[in-house]
Amino acid sequence: MKFRLFEGGGGMAYKRVLLKITGEALKGESHIFDRKRLDFLADEIKSIHGQVQLAIVIGGGNIVRGSYLTENFGTDSATADHIGMMATIQNALMLQDFLDREGLQTRVMTSIEVNKVAEPYIIRRALRHLEKGRVVVLAGGTGNSGVTTDTAAVLRASDIGADVVMKGTKVDGVYASDPMRNPDAKRYPKISYNEFLKRGLGGILDRSAVAQAEMKKMPIFIFKVFEQGNLLKAINGEAAGTLIS
């Protein structure tokens, strides 16, 4: 295992990483899950196994988000968020199954207790799993309604003393304007929490998660996860992306 710590430039690397994967990353065209994407993610995660201690916070957007239920069904917001949090547990179990098949020791821990299917989230126990080289998949978000799994990622990263939150997305970082619409859009290689919030750059990352990250002094690296080898590059500080710190 490498135990180089975060340096904030080329050649940086990490000891303990919290990877945030949005639920959308598991989604297929006609189903909540896509086999190729799950295989791909499991392969990528396997490629970094043993190089860092890895915890994963998984979202639920491929199944349902609370806000969608409230807007379209008039669902009470706490109930809607409970449904959203349960979705993240389904994703965690699915990801665990794919990681198991890669031969990785994986534990799912949840903020909302579902004792028959996963362990409750207990910081010390999560740390013990990480120290033993197990991949820890953290589901159920924070367990509280009104926030997203981006915030859960920051809070959990802080709990377990991760060096960084890595958010794997479809794009390779934060841009000054939408790179899909404006091909000349400039990517920020690095941006402060304050600048991110001041410039109104939401979309790619929940703004309240950035505010939490600032309070916890937790750096967030945004990179493209669906490019082969990029997760490995990211943990070695070699991937293109945006560092919010």
Residues that bind ligand UDP (CB under 6 A): 22-24, 59-61, 65-67, 80-81, 84-85, 87-88, 141-142, 144-145, 147-149, 152
Give start and end residues of each alpha helix (H) in the chain: 35-48, 66-73, 77-101, 123-131, 149-159, 193-198, 207-216, 230-235
Give the residue with the Cβ less far from ligand UDP, 61 or 241: 61
Q: What is the DSSP string of 141-176?
A: TTSSTTS-HHHHHHHHHHHTT-SEEEEEESSSSEES
Give the residue with the Cβ less far from ligand UDP, 146 or 229: 146
What is the nearest approach in angstroms of ligand UDP to the Cβ of residue 141?
2
Query: In Å, how far are 87, 98, 127, 135, 204 from 55, measured between CA atoms?
Result: 18, 15, 10, 6, 20
Give the residue with the Cβ less far from ligand UDP, 106 or 110: 110
What is the nearest approach in angstroms of ligand UDP to the Cβ of residue 105?
24
What is the nearest approach in angstroms of ligand UDP to the Cβ of residue 207?
13
| Chain centroid to CA 95 | 13
What is the nearest approach in angstroms of ligand UDP to the Cβ of residue 169?
10
Give the residue at shortest CB distance from ligand UDP: 59
Give the residue with the Cβ less far from ligand UDP, 148 or 230: 148
| Chain centroid to CA 231 | 12
